[in-house]
Amino acid sequence: MSGRLNSAQPYALGLFRIVVGLLFACHGAASLFGVLGGAAGTEGGTVDAGTWPNWYAAVIQLVAGILILLGLGTRAAALIASGSMAYAYFKVHQPGALWPMENGGEASAMFCWAFLLLVFTGSGAFGLDRLLTRRTTGEERSGTAADRTPVSA
């Protein structure tokens, strides 16, 4: 049983990355464009452009969420996303109360840890990172082999 679960691990990780990235991107889109119910606390509105930290957080959510969803630059995007959620938790939620259930910071805490996991695991299956790595590696191999082939006169 363990062998089957281990062989499915890259696919489960890839699906996890896709879902978490999509949810994170939706938060950013809601805050920036007023879709999907709008920004939290704005009754369907958006955050004002350039306001600290809300607008910047929304941009990070949208861009990092899309990159993570696609599996493109996953580790770097996840590191930035994790840091932004740690900031959100400790600066916005935690001063209100110690525990996430009391201070409304469950989503920030969960996103923070989910993205930190992706920093260490990478994109898993279905990511563009893996596709680009394979393509680059294949081109390097074929180019190197062609360079070693003697040219006949």
Question: What pLDDT sits at residue 147?
Answer: 46
d(CA 79, CA 58): 16
Question: What pLDDT sits at residue 39?
Answer: 72
d(CA 152, CA 108): 64
pLDDT higher than threshold 50 for residue 64: yes
Q: What is the pLDDT of residues 122-147, one digit of tens each?
A: 999 999 988 887 776 665 555 554 44
| 123 half-sphere exposure, CB direction, 13 A CA radius | 23
Tokens of residue 8, six digits:
């499915």
Contact 81, 24 (CB under 8 A): yes
Contact 102, 96 (CB under 8 A): yes
Over residues 34-38, mean pLDDT: 81
- Which backbone phi and psi does 99 adopt, to 5 degrees? -95, 145
Q: What is the pLDDT of residues 73-114, one digit of tens each?
A: 999 999 999 999 999 999 999 999 999 999 999 999 999 999
Tokens of residue 112, six digits:
């923070």
Name the region of 152 (left: φ>0; alpha: ψ -120 to 50; beta: rest).
beta
Over residues 17-26, mean pLDDT: 97
pLDDT higher than threshold 60 for residue 120: yes
